[in-house]
Amino acid sequence: MNDLLTALMSRRSVRAYRDDPVQPDVPDRILEAMRRAPTAGNQTQYSVIEVEDPGARKTLALTCDNQPFIASAPWVLVFLADVQRLLDYYSHSGVTPKPPREGDALLATADAFVAAQTAVIAAEAEGLGSCYIGDILEHYETVRDLLNLPRYVLPVSLITFGYPTEQQRHRPQPGRMERSSFVFRDRYHRLRGDDLAHVYDYADPGPDRYRSGADTFGQHMHDRKYASDFMNELRRSVAVMFSYWR
């Protein structure tokens, strides 16, 4: 296997880091690799904030569903879906653009995630572990004020980076869904009946690890994720983001 495939195949999320700071030049190489990521129409509809301020880190650890490792991680990047710069450029160029809509937001979000994943893999190649934090979508009002985000800039991902602790380096990778359940040919295949029975087996830790009251893994996952307080906050927060677009 070549080095790139090795990095892709060996990656797993890392949330516990050694205290060592990221080596000099490494962030620069990662950000340069990220700059080569494809971007829709070469318009760069994303921005990145390196969050260094300890107070801001602490706030983000709290707004992101209270995950303290965000405050202590050696390097933290927030990826933004950024339609603002392009609109400002149009105005500056004497154009009066129509207000952006959902499609603009999705395309800019795609840009941000393509860049984020490029950074994550570049980091892996540099020996740095990383973890995506989707909870950056929560508490939009606080995150917006903290990071000085204008209306058409949405915080879509926070990523922590750091050298994995020894224990992390030896943790096995989580399983992944069987390809037959999500890679299709020509047409979408909706899973039904028996197809659904084993689709999440790869993630099921067994009944003794379910939350109390849950009899099946589906119930457990529903209560822990889909119906959780953090998902309800995330839904509220994203609705507020878009309320300013109308």
Ligand X SMILES: Cc1cc2nc3c(=O)[nH]c(=O)nc-3n(C[C@H](O)[C@H](O)[C@H](O)COP(=O)(O)O)c2cc1C
Residues forming the site for ligand X (CB under 6 A):
12-13, 15, 67, 131-135, 173-174
Rounded to the nearest whole angstrom, what is the least distance from the CB of residue 1 to ligand X in the complex?
18
How far, rounded to the nearest angstrom, does the alpha carbon of residue 177 sit from its chain's CA centroid? 19
**Closer residue to ligand X in complex, CB, 14/86:** 14
Rounded to the nearest whole angstrom, what is the least distance from the CB of residue 201 to ligand X in the complex?
15
Report the residue number whose CB is nearest to ligand X: 134
Inter-residue contact 52 to 27 (CB < 8 Å): no
**Closer residue to ligand X in complex, CB, 10/91:** 10
Which residues, other chains included, contact 131 with Cβ-Cβ below 8 Å and sequence gap of 6+? Answer: 13, 14, 15, 69, 159, 160
Rounded to the nearest whole angstrom, what is the least distance from the CB of residue 133 to ligand X in the complex?
4
Query: Quick one: which H or E segment has residue 77?
Result: strand 75-82
Closest CA to 133 of 112, 110, 156, 163: 156
Rounded to the nearest whole angstrom, what is the least distance from the CB of residue 145 to ligand X in the complex?
21
Alpha carbons 222 and 37: distance in angstroms, whole number: 35
**Closer residue to ligand X in complex, CB, 214/221:** 221
**Closer residue to ligand X in complex, CB, 174/205:** 174
Helix %, strand %, coil % for the chain, to 5?
50, 10, 40
**Closer residue to ligand X in complex, CB, 27/164:** 164
Alpha carbons 167 and 163: distance in angstroms, whole number: 11
Which residues, other chains included, contact 26 with Cβ-Cβ below 8 Å and sequence gap of 6+? Answer: 126, 128
Alpha carbons 155 and 116: distance in angstroms, whole number: 12
**Closer residue to ligand X in complex, CB, 104/124:** 124
Rounded to the nearest whole angstrom, what is the least distance from the CB of residue 96 to ligand X in the complex?
35
Rounded to the nearest whole angstrom, what is the least distance from the CB of residue 64 to ligand X in the complex?
6
